[in-house]
Structure 1
Amino acid sequence: MLPDVTTGRSVPGPAVSARTRRRLEQASGGLATASVSAMSERLPWFRRLSADQRAGVLLVTQTGVSNFVAWLGEPGQTIRLTAEAFRSAPRDLARRVSLRQTVELVRVAIEVFEHQLPLLAGSDRERQLLTEGILRFGREIAFAAATVYASAAESRGAWDARLEALVVDGVVRGEVDDALVSRSSALGWDAERPVTVVVGSPPPEIQTESQGEPLATMRRTATRLGRSVLLGVQGARLVALLSGALPVVGGGVPGAGNGGGLSSGAGTTGAGNAAASVGGNGAAAARAGTVKLSPAERLADAFGPGPVVIGPTAPTLAAAHASARDALQGLRAVSGWPGAPRPVRAMDLLPERALAGDPWAKAELIATVVQPLTSAGGELGRTLASYLDGGGALESCARALFVHPNTVRYRLRRVTEVTGLDPTDPRASLVLRIALIVGRLSASE
């Protein structure tokens, strides 16, 4: 009796005799050789394999015949073919032959078996049993091959995810060594390309452990933007390493390089800051059909709810730690600016970062505001301090300095030219005020 195809239960019928099974065992080597010869004749790509790889296919085929004969000896059992035949193949063969090509090999081998195995039967009934058994056994071989390749794909995916997490964690920690560069290369990442670090909260699919590939939406978005991306979920935050720069509409801080040798886009005046404020509602406007989403806004939509902070662009992966550091510091301090756009640059959060105790933000404010004002000489610093302390009133500032109001206007324009920040803009005036305070505290230390 043979197992039913649909239920796996035994069905009545005589089994293949022991004498026929012995003939099958003795013919297994010839069957495998005939199968490989047919593969070489019908499949052009098979002829291009090396001798060792063709020998591996021969071994797998012969093992398959042995499994078939063993199954015929247990007619009352369900088909229990595992990946044993495929485990006998060399690793190099598994990497060289694709799933589609494996299906082609199985098809050719089954056709050879269908033609030659029934000739070894001792009776018409055994010939019928062998024909039916080959069909069922061939189906199981195909499923076993698919299972092996699926398992390999899952293992590869899990290993890639582990490598990806190690690379992201190394960048966050600042432990970028040759080993990390090698891991990134294994993931197809060019370590010499510019890198922009973006941080925010994970999407709901991660938090609810929904089925499907995690972070698939973000990966698709990055692909559509023509960017490579490495992702790492670290507790309640998601860290994304994006290839290339990621421009953000507007801004409020001058674009000078920081201590890590990074640089962001050019700073803007009051008009630019207004644009940045409007940018916070850019995604909603885009959904209404009035504004087209920028690449940064499209990427931010793939994050979970809450703020999204973009670090400055690093020239290489080895220098990406400074970008990650600024982005993470910005994420901690962004709650201090309720009206911050989404996404927001870490450079635009310098006041909040400085108040939160970020030493790099303080150094950046001194480098981009205090030092340029000092280098410009004249009365720019004194005029700016008086203007800000007076609540932004020109007349009272002019009286305090014993100058004409037009002189104050001229000096404030010079402040804008030197720092890239307009003292008459509310957000820019906050940045300037914090920078002056940080400069005074630094000078008193």
Structure 2
Amino acid sequence: MSDRVSRRPPSAATLRRLERASGSLSTRAVARMDDELPWFRTMPADQRSWVMLVAQAGLASFVEWCRSPDRRPRLTGEVFGAAPRELARVVPLKHTVDLVRVTVEVMDDFVGTVAEPGDADVLRLAVLQYSREVAFATAHVYASFAESRGAWDARLEALLVDALVRGESPEELSGRASALGWAAMSPVTVLVGAAPPDGDVHAACRRAARQVRSEVLVGVHADQLVVVLGGSPDLQSAAERVSDEFGPGSVVMGPVVDGLGRAGDSAAAALAGLRAVRAWPGAPRPVAADALLPERALDGDPTARATLQERIAVPLQAAGGEVLETVRAVLASGGNLEASARALFVHPNTVRYRLRRATEITGVATSDPRGSWTVRVALALAALDQDRSLWH
């Protein structure tokens, strides 16, 4: 097609006929969408009406652009501004491309009907050029929406992690979780440690979490990095991978909970563990907050103190005097079973049996150095608290 034809706008008569037919064209376009696009038929009536508004605005803008072809069409405001911003959220980009394609096909089919003699090729070329502008405008709208949504999500994510650290109520956490799509996320755990000195820690943690198929929320508070992991069937492995993105020093993993509404408990335990972990120089990375119960209790954490009482001291007391007596004897002998047996006037196998029984009811092995330390602290604290507990 020659430059003379490509640069000449459609005649005024053609544009008047096109303008009068714009309502019919919009109706035909929506009808064809209904015929060709199964997902369009399932859209709610209000969303279908939004699409109709965009199609009508697009045709009106096309007519105005044909009258002044040197002016770039203001599609973002004139066309896409006709529908609420929610349209970009409920209609994905792929579906929007289908809507534009169907509308352009209808306009192309209708060219011969509305064009004056000699205007058909000019009008068809104008439709082609205009559809190109629509494609670019569509990409701009969705990119802007994604950018603004990403910025909003980042702010909401920061607020949510901050709320976890400050120990806000589960009700407030659940409301913010819903906005981020975490309302039904389970299981969940919280990691805390030092933030790395440089680099984009948010992006690094997200990449690491994706590698282990875990959802993630990230927040930096002063020099501490707080990471919430959720949805993975193996949160321990996810925590081990993500902990590589923390700065130097210990990383503490809070208890696994059944949803973000209870993640505040996990965060509180992890933060208490981070304060106390310096008392265990050889702690693994990451280390479970529950593995730090003795250090946390000595650091003044009332939750850790109560947990040691509930999990170790009270069950040993309830198991009977022989089990408790044997545990104390083994602790006093430094783990020497023969010496413990002599002190108790029993066979070493009896000591072994009682220790197995103690391990079964507490989940902590007294024969293990770390386990014996935990049991020793639990019993010592129970003795100090005997007037305020079940221990006596």
Q: Which TM-score band applies after superposition, normalised by the shorter structure? A: 0.7 to 0.9
Residue aligning to 2:75: 81
Deviations 1:276-331 (A, max 9, x none): xxxxxxxxxxxxxxxxxx56534544655543322223355544433222122112
1:242 aligned onto 2:233: no
SS in structure 1 opposite 2:141?
helix
Per-residue CA deviations over 1:32-90 (Å, capped at 9, x if unaligned) read: 33433444444455455566554433322221122122223333334543243122125
Instruction: Give the one of 200, 217, 220 matched to 2:210.
Output: 220
Report 1:144-183 matches (<5 A).
144-183=137-176
- For the Cα contact (< 8 Å) 1:163–1:184, is it kept in 2? no
Residue in structure 2 matching 1:348, options 291, 310, 313: 291
- Judged with a 3 Å threshold, the aligned counterparts in structure 2 of structure 1 residues 429 and 190 are, in CA distance, closer, same or farther, namely same
Counterpart of 2:219 in structure 1 is 233
Q: What does residue 208 of structure 1 align with?
A: 199
Asked if the contact 1:203/1:215 (under 8 Å) is kept, the reply is no
Q: 1:200, 1:308 within 8 Å by CA — same for their partners in 2?
A: yes
Q: Is the partner of 1:332 in helix, strand or coil?
A: helix
Flag structure 1 segments of 5+ consecutive residues without an equivalent: 5-10, 249-293
CA shift in 2, pair 1:359/1:71, >3 Å: same
Query: Quick check: 363-372 or 138-147, which moved more?
Result: 363-372
Structure 1 residues 25-174: aligned runs within 5 Å: 25-47=19-41, 49=43, 53-89=47-83, 97-117=91-111, 120=114, 124=118, 127-174=120-167
Aligned residues of 2:9 and 2:69 also touching (Cα < 8 A): yes
Three-state SS of the structure 2 residue aligned to 1:196 is strand
Inter-partner Cα distance in structure 2 for 1:199 and 1:385: 33
User: What is the letter of the counterpart of residue 144 of structure 1?
Assistant: A
Q: Kindly tell me: are residues 219 and 425 of structure 1, through their superposed partners in 2, closer, same or farther at Cα, counting changes over 3 Å?
A: closer
Q: Does 1:430 align with 2:373?
A: yes
Seen in structure 2, the aligned counterparts of structure 1 residues 328 and 138 have a Cα distance that, compared at 3 Å, is same
What's the offset of the Cα at 1:123?
6.6
1:377 is aligned to 2:367: no
CA 420–199 in structure 1, closer or farther in 2 if over 3 Å, else same: same
Mark the CA change 1:412 to 1:322 in structure 2 (over 3 Å): closer, same or farther: farther
Query: d(CA) in 2 for partners of 1:246 and 1:117?
Result: 60
Q: Distance in 2 between matches of 1:404 and 1:295?
A: 46
* AA in 1 matched with 2:104: I
Matched letter for residue 136 of structure 1? Q
Conserved 8 A contact 1:221-1:299: no
Amino acid of the structure 2 residue aligned with 1:387 = S
Contact 1:387 1:393 in 2 (8 A): yes
Work out whether residues 337 and 352 of structure 2, in 8 Å CA contact, stay in contact via their aligned partners in 1.
Answer: no
Contact 2:204 2:245 in 1 (8 A): no
Cα displacement (A) at 1:140? 1.1
Q: C-alpha distance in 2, partners of 1:203/1:87?
A: 43
User: Which residue of 308, 316, 319 corresponds with 1:365?
Assistant: 308
Could you tell me which residue of structure 1 aligns to residue 280 of structure 2?
Answer: 337
TM-score (norm 2): 0.75
1:270-419 to 2 correspondences below 5 Å: 294=237, 297-301=240-244, 306-315=249-258, 317-375=260-318, 376-377=320-321, 379-380=325-326, 383-384=329-330, 386-388=332-334, 403=343, 414=354, 417-418=357-358, 419=362
Partner secondary structure for residue 79 of structure 2:
helix
Say if 1:52 and 1:187 are closer, same or farther in 2 by CA, change over 3 A.
closer
Question: Equivalent of 1:196, from 182, 189, 193?
Answer: 189
Instruction: Report if the CA contact (8 A) 2:191-2:254 is conserved.
Output: yes
Shift in Å, 1:386: 3.7
- Secondary structure of 1:77's aligned partner: coil
Higher relative CO (Cα under 8 Å, sequence separation at least 6) belongs to: 1
Rounded to whole Å, the distance in 1 between the matches of 2:143 and 2:253 is 37
Q: What amino acid sits opposite 1:345 in the alignment?
A: A
The normalised TM-score by structure 1 is 0.67
* Alpha carbons 1:57, 1:89 under 8 Å: kept: yes
Q: How many residues align?
A: 377
The one-letter code matched in structure 1 to 2:219 is: V
SS in 1 for 2:305: helix
**What SS class does the counterpart of residue 70 from structure 1 fall into?**
helix
Is the contact made by 1:201 and 1:237 (CA closer than 8 Å) also made in structure 2? yes
On the 8 A contact 1:196/1:310 being kept in 2, the answer is yes
CA apart distance, 1:346: 1.2
Deviation at 1:371, TM superposition (A): 4.0
1:25 positional shift? 3.0
| Counterparts in 2 of 1:296 and 1:135: CA distance versus 1, 3 Å | same
Q: Is the 8 A contact 1:350 1:365 kept in 2?
A: yes
CA 1:18–1:306 in 2, change beyond 3 Å: closer, same or farther? farther
Q: 1:215 to 1:87 in 2, by over 3 A?
A: farther
